[in-house]
């Protein structure tokens, strides 16, 4: 009986063995080598801040440290820019470095020019800043709003194919729930003074979220009352004020009734010591008689509301004309 104790190789194994003893193939001389991005020295005066850039540039201790580093070692990491529709260099990442260089009276900065369209630039700008440890609520809100809009523009076909909404894609990318993202986006509807109160923890997120549902005229009226009286609402008071706005009964008298109930005025007023420290506020006052020619038949509260409405329209026109940037 024949003993067939030998290994039988398949065609695939034989081919692998042959290839293993052949010399390596020479590199393709026509293959383009991978190049590092080209760095240009761009004049700082030619750089434009990213339109509606949502992240604040603060001249704090961290900025001073950055300035010292740039002064001693130069700009170690080039900024990135893209050419916008107006043929301008718009900063994508590096706003803080540009600010530091301006403070140091520098005239040029190393930059990489990216071949982006507007939506690609938005996504790159937001993503380059979301890794920061300390982001203010309004910064997150505006950043998520911009990124969500860019994703909607970029992924309409992908949404159809993957059955995913744009906010689901955003939530997955940033590690936040869809509800949290929508709540943060809502606070972008706050007027600037309310956003500042929220960012610097002078107003709770719950109160800010409620006021974001009011129109700018109502918000202006509320803020002016709070500022002039140096008092700010708790959550229950904010809900009561929201009901006034929803029922179209938001007047100074009704705001005062909620914020300063009869017999409890001392409880809600700021301590006397704090008032003495506060700088004296300038104010402009008109008598009702002076305004009747412009607002016939109106009481004082209605006049004030109408003036805020006119000012809000004027501000909106100024923003469009000047390109308001956050």
Instruction: For tokens 């100024």, name the residue.
Output: 318
Decide if 167 contacts 182 (C-beta within 8 A): yes
The confidence score (pLDDT) of residue 276 equals 40
The confidence score (pLDDT) of residue 296 equals 64
The confidence score (pLDDT) of residue 303 equals 64
Give the separation between CA 116 and CA 84, rounded to whole angstroms.
9
The CA dihedral of 22, 24, 27, 28, to the nearest 10 degrees, is 20
Decide if 56 contacts 139 (C-beta within 8 A): yes
The confidence score (pLDDT) of residue 11 equals 56
The confidence score (pLDDT) of residue 269 equals 43
Give the separation between CA 9 and CA 237, rounded to whole angstroms.
83
The confidence score (pLDDT) of residue 166 equals 79
Give the separation between CA 143 and CA 323, rounded to whole angstroms.
18
Strand intervals (E) in 84-218: 89-93, 108-114
Structural domains of the chain in order of their starting residue, each with its CATH number:
36-116 (3.90.1530.10), 130-189 (no CATH), 191-278+285-305 (no CATH)
Show pLDDT as tens, one digit a residue, over the chain (326 residues). Answer: 444 444 555 555 655 554 455 555 555 555 555 577 899 999 999 999 999 999 988 888 999 999 999 999 999 999 999 999 999 999 999 999 999 999 999 999 999 999 999 999 999 999 998 887 789 999 999 999 999 999 888 776 454 444 457 778 888 888 888 899 999 999 999 999 999 999 988 999 999 999 999 999 999 999 999 999 999 999 999 999 999 999 999 999 999 999 998 755 444 444 333 334 334 445 566 665 566 666 665 556 556 666 766 776 666 566 445 444 33
The confidence score (pLDDT) of residue 162 equals 47
The confidence score (pLDDT) of residue 172 equals 84
pTM: 0.65
Beta carbons within 8 Å of 176's beta carbon, 6+ residues apart: 144, 184
């Amino acid at each position: 009986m024949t003993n067939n104790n030998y290994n039988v190789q398949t065609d695939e194994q034989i081919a692998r063995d042959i290839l293993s003893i052949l010399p390596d193939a020479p590199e393709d001389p026509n293959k383009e080598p991978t190049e590092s991005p080209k760095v240009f020295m761009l004049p700082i005066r030619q750089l434009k801040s990213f339109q509606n850039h949502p992240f604040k540039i603060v001249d704090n201790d961290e900025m001073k440290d950055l300035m010292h580093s740039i002064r001693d070692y130069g700009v170690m990491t080039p900024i990135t820019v893209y050419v916008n529709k107006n043929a301008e260099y718009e900063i994508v990442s590096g706003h803080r470095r540009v600010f530091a260089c301006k403070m140091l009276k520098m005239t040029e900065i190393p930059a990489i020019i990216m071949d982006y369209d507007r939506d690609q630039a938005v996504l790159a700008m937001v993503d380059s800043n979301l890794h920061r440890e300390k982001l203010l609520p309004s910064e997150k809100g505006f950043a998520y709003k911009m990124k969500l809009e860019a994703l909607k523009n970029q992924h309409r076909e992908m949404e159809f194919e993957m059955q995913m909404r744009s906010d689901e894609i955003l939530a997955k990318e940033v590690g936040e729930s869809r509800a949290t993202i929508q709540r943060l986006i809502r606070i972008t509807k706050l007027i600037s003074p309310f956003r500042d109160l929220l960012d610097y923890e002078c107003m709770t997120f719950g109160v800010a979220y409620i006021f974001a549902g009011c129109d700018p005229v109502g918000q202006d009226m509320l803020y002016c009352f709070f500022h002039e009286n140096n008092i700010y609402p708790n959550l229950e008071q904010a809900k009561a004020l929201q009901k006034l706005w929803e029922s179209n009964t938001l007047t100074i008298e009704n705001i005062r009734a909620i914020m300063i109930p009869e017999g409890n005025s001392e409880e809600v007023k700021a301590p006397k010591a704090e008032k003495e420290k506060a700088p004296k506020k300038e104010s402009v006052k008109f008598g009702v008689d002076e305004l009747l020619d412009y607002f016939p038949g109106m009481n004082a509260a209605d006049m004030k509301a109408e003036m805020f409405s006119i000012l809000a329209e004027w501000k909106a026109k100024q923003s469009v004309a000047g390109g308001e940037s956050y």
